Structure 1
């Protein structure tokens, strides 16, 4: 059975392919434990980026802002590694690698029910999408305002 994608709700205004679609839920390993991503890094919003994008984000304030907004930054890859503001995990079955090679993007954002908020590829597109997500979850939208009041 194929579930339909979302067309309304907490979704990016500008996005690459995949916006509103269901995200994958993969098994990852953080070096001490192996489990589904949400079980390993916690619930809530996850921002999945490739290692190169994480390096670019480190020179901005976005990682700190995402942390304050309780948005988890995750870098699925070939091996787990420690990082102060991100979860660098081993993508055990290559699920995220295969998913990112689809005509979508290299950095994806998924709300708690594993729907894709939006997608972007490199350059200024990923930071712009992250800023839009921050505005949405921090009170910059009606959904964000409702969350802030809760």
Structure 2
């Protein structure tokens, strides 16, 4: 019964689609979070398909994300390196993540192995990259609590803004 109350109080939304496309037109910290998962994984995977609820002071509560990884470790929806490239083809860097590395445009060889490149121009953007000039809060810190973390928080899939 409590779950039904939560769903009535908050609007369930898709924020970032499974193909990496932003569902709304306004940039959010979740755009940077998608890029953050790539960076923090050592460029081995990227998380997308971010849907759930946005709770103002608590951040986002997300369900059923989709993962794409170099070695296709995350089930049937994991499209491997081609899925990772597809995410970044739709991703628009914002003021949080524009200097972070991302897969190069020609990053898969015949063995389906991903090669990586850093941004190669002084402004942090490779040719053809598009920076989302709308600003999001650059002080956002990502705290991810999952059943696999050593967090005291027992809830899984909670992403907060570090407050």
Question: Scaled by the length of structure 1, what TM-score is found?
Answer: 0.25
**More strand by percentage:** 2
Higher relative contact order (CA 8 A, sep 6+): 1
**Structure whose CA Rg is larger:** 2
Question: Scaled by the length of structure 2, what TM-score is found?
Answer: 0.23
